[in-house]
Structure 1
Amino acid sequence: MTSNCSFEEVDNLMKYLELIIYIPIFLFGLILNVVALLVFCIFLRKWTESTIYMSSLALMDLLLLFPLPFKMHATNHLWPAELQTLCSILESLYFVGIYGSIYTIMCIAVDRWVAICHPFKAKQMRSPKAALGTCMGVWMLVLVTISSTTYRFRRDGQSQFHCFHVFSKDGWNPVVIIFVQVFGFLLPALVVIYCSVNTIWVLQQSGQRSPNSRACVKIIYSSLGAFLVPFTPSHLAILLQFLVHQGVIQDCTSRTRISLFIQVALCLSNVTCCLDGLFYYFIAHEVRSTKQTFRLSLQRRATFSSSEV
């Protein structure tokens, strides 16, 4: 890999572009998620599966938002070596927020799929306790996995460094990148797509053309897009940057474009905090509207089954 490729133009551009992207995301995301938590924890007295999952997602989004001011500062300033531990903690919180959100959204999609596609089993499989246990499992999984990985992102012996930038070679280790790509994104994405497509198919084949059913289909399409749009470009960019670090891509122009792409994609992936906040209302509306609809569907299936006996 050639070493005389300059990224100065990209770095100068990102100093301003990050501020333009991050400041609105931080402000709107903070307001939407705090309001959501207040509604779930104070105004809604009854805890259901949906409110538990959405409360956990709001906490994950707030955890993702917390390091953003430090990330903006680190873009324009070098940090002294004694702040490497603080930087590793902030990076851990940031990635816990990202991948915790991914897995929580996956759990919401699975919960919806079970409730709609398997209404008989849903009574045994779905409960507030099960939802709480699942959320706690997600938190433990991402905390242990991320915290045991991010310490490798910093090189020892640096007098000054850019936090959230210029990761060490260990941070681009093939095992780490494959794990991130497969278990951090591809597997949850396939689960979300499978559950969403099957849920939409059941809704469309149920014979119920009510406005509620049509609204549910639109909401599922929208939530699927809200999952794929922020996270697909960022993980594609990580893969391309990995190829640069492995020497597969050596052309200076390509490397410069990939450097810009990964920084912009990672910035825009944080918009999930705002999209999640907007979809709290729609998901809650979906749950309320489908509860009665699929209670009738369950009764119809039971009646059909008894008529065959």
Structure 2
Amino acid sequence: MNSSESMFLLTVNTTVDEYKLPSYTIIITTVFYVIIFILGVIGNVLVLFVVCCNKDMGNSTNYFLVNLSVADLLVLVFCMPVALLETYIIRPWVLGEAMCKLVPFLEYSAAQASVLTLVSVAIERFVAICHPLRAQYIITPSKAVRICVLIWLIACGSSIPYLFMAQHRHYDVTENGDDLYDCGTYNNSMLTEIYVIFAAVIFFLLPLIMLVGLYSRVSSTLNKKIPSQSNGRRSARRDTPTHGDYVVVMHMYTFIAEVGGSSSPYCCPRKSPIKQRGLDAIRSQMRMRKRVVYMLITVVILFFVCLLPQRVVSLWFKYGSTDQHMELGVERVYTLVIVCRILTYVNSSINPIIYNIMSSKFRDAFLRILGIGRVHGQVSEGYHSNTSRLGQTRSDISRQDNKGTRL
């Protein structure tokens, strides 16, 4: 139990310092915590290495995912061990006043930074897919880095009240004369209650509404069926570029014309294999964009599913009556808190697994770092040598578009 919940649990039983969790609960909790910790730390550290050590992964979307991994690592490294310790020693608080205030501050800072990062990723994908002409100017990799810094400033600044709400209180003295302290967050004023409700709305409910709206628009744009010319008839095909991507198509046609030795991007034969390869490349890019968006939607869904129980239970501890707590019972209350916290830590460790399952680019990069990946260097070098004759302007546009969609 974290300090954000512990004092509310104390209302269930005034002799809670004498209460010990059952052995089977402690063992099961420890096993879950250890597995989640190992997988989460290794996975998120690999994400940092993959993006920072691979130049072709240096795009705005991946920088936001790195920011998400940093927030997850903070939760796993600083907050999770404290929660495990409190499973063994419910009371007194043995980590001192500094940790009493630091743990809830870091936990809420990381949670709010994660929410803001997910919103930033959604906005970036919305601009890149629904307004591709503006994407290369609005959200560049350098701007993404500055946005990540701003996210942490907002997240840490908005969590400062927890430094004051978390209190290290003396409650007893042992037979040897040692002072005993507990730690908890207190909503003992109207201002703190307003803040808690405000934070829940601004950093949970409102972002959820925004993410649903943004990704609904993005998915609708990606799944549009644009009429295309085929054998003299107009037909609708999936994976045909959307209206915004026809700008990219025109540049691809220009590329095709140059490779084919023609001065006009429109003079290629209707059934030219070179032209067909260009269209296939565009459709392949659209499929890649869809996979990226579906992966991000999965991350968002799991984020809110895993954190919703913790939010609800925390509000119940803050605003529920002591009689309601006592009706549930001490053991059930602690079990409920443990389940909520496990879900929170699962969210901090599961994102790298999602990247591996849904992104072949991340999967290959992970395997290469682990020394068991395949090498594609020869193929890539051959491709780039064949296309090095392109004009600088068109290659820059192509690289910029790829940076906006590659994952």
Q: TM-score, normalised by structure 1?
A: 0.77
- Which has the higher relative contact order, 1 or 2, with Cα contacts under 8 A spaced 6 or more apart? 1
Q: What is the CA distance between 1:70 and its match in structure 2?
A: 2.6
| Pairing 1:40-189 to 2, within 5 Å after superposition | 40-44=51-55, 47-67=58-78, 68-77=80-89, 78=91, 83-158=96-171, 159-161=179-181, 166-170=184-188, 173-189=192-208
Distance in 2, matches of 1:46 and 1:75, equals 40
**Whose Rg is larger?**
2
Aligned match of 2:49:
38
Q: Counterpart of 2:339?
A: 264
Residues in 1 aligned to 2:52 and 2:27: alpha-carbon distance in whole angstroms? 37
For residues 338 and 360 of structure 2, the distance between their equivalents in structure 1, rounded to whole angstroms, comes to 34
1:253 counterpart letter in structure 2:
E
TM-superposed deviation, 1:147: 3.2
Counterpart of 2:311, as a letter, is: H
Which residue identity does 2:61 align to in structure 1?
S
SS at match of 1:69: helix
For residues 45-88 of structure 1, the C-alpha deviation after alignment (integer angstroms, 9 at most, x for no partner) is: 66321221122111111111112123211332245677111221
Cα deviation, residue 186, structure 1: 0.9
**Partners of 1:214 and 1:144 in 2: CA distance:** 35
What letter corresponds to residue 18 of structure 1 in structure 2?
A: T
Return the structure number with greater helix share: 1
Gaps of 5+ in 2: 1-10, 172-178, 227-236, 240-283, 363-396, 403-407
Alpha-carbon distance change, 252 to 135 in structure 1, aligned in 2, over 3 angstroms: same
For residue 324 of structure 2, what is the aligned residue in structure 1?
A: 250
Q: TM-score, normalized by length of structure 2?
A: 0.60
Could you tell me whether the CA contact under 8 Å between 2:117 and 2:148 is conserved in 1? yes
Which residue number corresponds to residue 238 of structure 1?
A: 314
Distance 1:143 1:217 in 2: 28
CA drift of 1:283 comes to 5.9
C-alpha contact 1:106 1:192 (8 A) present in aligned 2:
yes
Q: 1:200 aligns with which of 191, 198, 219?
A: 219
Q: Does structure 1 retain, via aligned residues, the 8 Å contact 2:162–2:185?
A: no
More strand as a share of residues: 2
1:99-124 per-residue CA deviation (whole Å, 9 max, x = no partner) reads: 22222122112211111122222233
Residues 263 and 86 of structure 1: CA distance in aligned 2, closer, same or farther (over 3 Å): same
Is the contact between residue 72 and residue 110 of structure 2 (CA under 8 Å) also seen in structure 1?
Answer: yes
Task: Give per-residue Cα distances to partners, 1:130-166, cap 9 Å, x unaligned.
Answer: 2111100111111122233233122433443455xx4
CA change 1:160–1:151 in 2 (3 A) is farther
Q: Secondary structure at the match of 1:156?
A: strand
Instruction: Give me the identity figure in percent.
Output: 20
What amino acid is aligned across from residue 63 of structure 1 in structure 2? L
Q: What's the C-alpha RMSD, in Å, of the aligned pairs?
A: 3.5
Q: How many residues align?
A: 286
DSSP-derived class of the 2:170 partner: coil
Contact 2:50/2:57 (8 A) holds in 1: no
Q: Which one is further off, 4-13 or 254-263?
A: 4-13
CA contact (8 A) 1:196 1:220 kept: no
- Measure how far apart 1:193 and its partner are: 1.5
